[in-house]
Amino acid sequence: MSAPTQTKPRTIVPFGPQHPVLPEPIHLDLVLEDEKVVDAIPTIGFVHRGLEKLCEKHDFHKMTQVAERVCGICSFMHGMGYCQAIETVMGIEVPARALFLRTFWAELSRVHSHLLWLGLIADAFGFESLFMHSWRVREKILDIIEETSGGRVIFGSCKIGGIRRDVADDILRRIRRELDPIETEFRDIASVFDQDPTAKRRLRGLGALSREDAHALGAVGPTARGSGIDFDARKLGYAAYPQLEFEPVVETAGDCQARCSVRIREIHQSFDLLRQAIDKMPAGAIEVPVKGNPNGEYMSRLEQPRGEVGYYVKGDGKKNLGRFRVRTPTFANIPALIHMLKGCEFADVPVIVLTIDPCISCAER
C-alpha cells in the first residue's frame, strides 16, 4: 500500500493501553496532521490469555467455566453460547424452562451491559453525573441478577444440558413488578442522552460509517445496526427467542448518536422481552442428563450486547475438545473502528473508540 503525498507534517500519538476512557487495554497509534486523525494502527494483545488452548487441559464440562470467564461484562452469553454449541453437536435437547431462563438471564445481561456502556460514553464526553446515574440503575439490574443466579458478574448458571439452578415462580413474578419502576427511571436517563445539547454536540455526525462500509468491513451488532444493516443474531432462533416477539432495532444515520440510540432502544426492547419471557415461562425440568463425549463440529452464533458472536467447537469423541474458538464481536468491529477514526478530530477519538463498545478481553481471550 503506497502512502499519498504528504503536504503537512505528521505526528504519531499513542493512544492507550492506559487511558481513562478505556475499560480495557487497546493500543492505537494515531497518525495526525495538525489535529485531524489521518490513520490509526491498532495493536492488541495486552490481555491475551490463550483461553482457547485450555480446552486441551480441561474436559468439555469444565470448559463451561472457562468460557464464561472470557469476559466480565458479557460473561453469561459466553457460557450460554458454548453450551449451545456442545448441545447441538451432541444432539441434546434442552428443556423449555431452561431455555426460557437462559433467555431471561441473557436479556438481563444485555440490559446491564448497555447501561454500563451508556455510563462510559457519558463519561467519555465529560458528563460524569450522567455516568453515575446510569450505573445506579445498573445496580438494580445487578441485584436482580445476583438474586436469581448467585453472582453479580459471573452468573455460573449454564451447564451442558440445561441450567444449574432454578428460579422460583414467585421470585420471577416479583421481579416482573420491579421492572416497571426500573424502566421508568431508565427513561429519564435516556431522555438526557436524546435531548441534552452537550450530548448531541459530542455524538451527532461523529464516526460516520456508511452501510456499504459496515458490510464490507464485517461490522456486527449495534455498530452495524446503527448504519442500517438489520441483522440481529437473535433471529436465528436459538434459546427461547422463536417464542418471543421482537424486531431488530435499526437506525440509519450511521454516526455515534445513531449507535447510542440503537442501544437505548435495545434496552427498552430487552425490558419488553424480559416481561414476555416471564409471562410465557413454562414449568418443568431445568436439565437433562448428559452422557458421552462430543463428536463433531459446529459454529453456534448468538447475539451478545456487542454483536454477533460465534463459538466453534470441534470434538473427536474424547473428553477434551479438539478446538474451541470464540469469534467475538469486538474483534469483528476493530476494522470498522479504524475506518471511523480516519478524518476525525483528535479530541473525538475517545468517543469514537467507545462507540463500538470495545470489550478487548473478549477480543483477545
Partner 1 sequence: MANWSISKLVARSAVGTPATRRYPFTRREPFAATRGHVRFAEDTCVFCNLCAKVCPTDAIVVNRKEKRWMIDRRKCILCGACTESCRKACLFLENAPAPPMTAAEWERIRIETE
Partner 2 sequence: MTTVQSIEPVGPSEMPARAAAMRASGWRLMQICATAVGPDFEILYSFAKGRDLQNFRATVPREGARLPSITGPYLCAFLYENEIHDLFGVAFDGLAIDFGGSLLKTRVKNPFAANATPA
Interface with partner 1 (CB under 8 A): 58, 61-62, 65-66, 129-130, 133, 136, 139, 143, 146-151, 154, 156, 164-165, 188-189, 191-192, 195-197
Whether 141 contacts 108, CB under 8 Å? yes
Torsion angle (degrees, nearest 10) of CA 11, 14, 15, 19: -130
Specify the residue, 53 or 200, whose C-beta has the smaller distance to partner 2: 53
String marking each residue 217-236 x if it binds partner 2 according to CB under 8 A: xx------------x---xx
Q: Which is nearer to partner 2, 95 or 335 (CB)?
A: 335
Helix H or strand E encompassing 311: strand 307-316
Shortest reach from residue 105's CB to partner 1, in Å: 13
Q: Which long-range contacts (CB under 8 A, 24 or more apart) does 44-47 make?
A: 44/334, 44/360, 44/363, 44/364, 45/364, 46/17, 46/360, 46/364, 47/360, 47/361, 47/364
Interactions with partner 2, residue window 75-114 (CB under 8 A): 88-89, 91
Of partner 2, partner 1, none, which one does residue 335 interact with (CB within 5 to 8 Å by kind)? Answer: partner 2
According to DSSP H, which parts of 48-163 are helical? 63-68, 75-90, 96-124, 128-149
In one-letter notation, the amino acid at residue 347 is A
Q: Does 14 bind partner 2 (CB under 8 A)?
A: no
Cell of 72: 466480565
Q: Which residues of 206-225 are buried (b: 16+ CB within 10 A; e: fewer)?
A: bbbbeeebbeebebbbbbbb
Indicate which of partner 1, partner 2, none lies near residue 217 (CB less than 5 to 8 Å, by partner kind): partner 2
Residues 125 to 164 in contact with partner 2, rule: CB under 8 A: none
Judged by beta carbon distances under 5 to 8 A according to partner kind, the member of partner 2, partner 1, none in contact with residue 169 is: none
53 binds, among partner 1, partner 2, none (CB under 5 to 8 A by kind): partner 2
Contact residues toward partner 2 (CB under 8 A) are 1, 43-45, 48, 50, 52-53, 56-57, 88-89, 91, 215-218, 231, 235-236, 295-299, 301, 308, 310, 312, 314, 316, 320, 322-323, 325, 327, 331-332, 334-336, 364
